Chain A
Amino acid sequence: MHIPDGFVSDPVAIVGAATSVAVIGYAVVRCGRDLDERRVPLVGATAAFIFAMQMLNFPVAGGTSGHFLGAALAAILLGPWLGAVVMAVVLVVQALVFADGGVTALGVAILNMAVIATLVVGVLSRLVRAVVPPTRAGLLGVAAAGAWLSVMAAALATAVELGMSGTVPYGTVLPAMLGVHAVIGVGEAMITVAALSTVLATRPDLIDGGDRVQAGGQAAVAR
């Protein structure tokens, strides 16, 4: 979903860029206020992990591949706002340094993968997790669903933008994008759960509420 230049029209690119700048700009200011400097290396490691995993394309049906996005992982480990900033930084580096995704389309890509995927799903996940029991299964279940949803949300947004740009008809691009990303989303869920399981097993304190999950799990075993 790293949209190349030329796939979206100028108006769509401009609106996407303006929205992204506003949201990510706000997120940066907000995170700067709340950021604990000791967490910075952890944030960096999360960003590095997401960048690395995005390079690992895996085959999905019919001559296509998918790759990890990382929006849900970023949102759960770092919170929705810091997660969005991290995703945006990864996307910017990918576009400017590795020519992965266009530069004029970068605002739209950030809107889809950093704002919509991370922020919206991150906030939703937090709400759901407030009512779901703080068990390991509960956390990982929400993570899996959030991961799948994040990929679908980004795919939907991309399809809508392609339609709005007149690049391809809505009726064609919507089922095509949603269809292939429904499969890719499963991979996203699996990798997200695997990564989170590892963090839960080693440093549960790094996850919002991870401490309670660990304690709850051990208490259940003790009973």
Chain B
Amino acid sequence: MVAFILAALAVSVLCAALVSPFASSRPDGLERVAEDEGFSDAATVGAIQARSPVADYSVIGLGDDRWATGAAGLIGTLLVFGVVVLGGVVLRRIALFRADL
């Protein structure tokens, strides 16, 4: 199990850090439809969102290039892993606690 999880994490981190900088930068399906049909200007970005150091998958301070994207991918992948694992453990502990009551 440990080997499998480490392998899965390794693949994920490699993809997010090393492959993502080379991913297509074309607009995705929804963005493209929005541009074509003229409602892409309706989009707004919240002030708090815009202040994130990794907004738009680009780490501030690393320039606007592949390193910035790759670093954001690395951070995000590990962050998601951490959040879900932590959340899962907490959830399970809460459920056990409630079962004991």
Contacts and interface: CB of A to CB of B under 8 A. Distances in A.
Size range of the chain B interface in the assembly: 35 or more
A126 to B, nearest CB: 22
A210 interface: no
A5 B33 contact: no
A156 interface: no
Interface in B7-56: 8-9, 11-13, 15-16, 19-20, 23-30, 32-34, 36-39, 42-46, 48-50, 52, 54-56
B5 A66 contact: no
Contacts of B9: 45, 48
State the main secondary structure of chain B at its contact with A.
helix
B46 A173 contact: no
Interface residues of A, number: 69
Given A4-B44, A89-B87, 12 more contacts: A2-B30, A4-B42, A5-B46, A40-B88, A44-B82, A44-B88, A62-B32, A65-B26, A90-B80, A173-B33, A176-B37, A184-B29
Nearest 3 pairs between A and B by C-beta? A4-B43, A40-B88, A52-B16
Interface of B: 1-2, 4-5, 8-9, 11-13, 15-16, 19-20, 23-30, 32-34, 36-39, 42-46, 48-50, 52, 54-57, 72-73, 76-85, 87-89, 91-92, 94-95
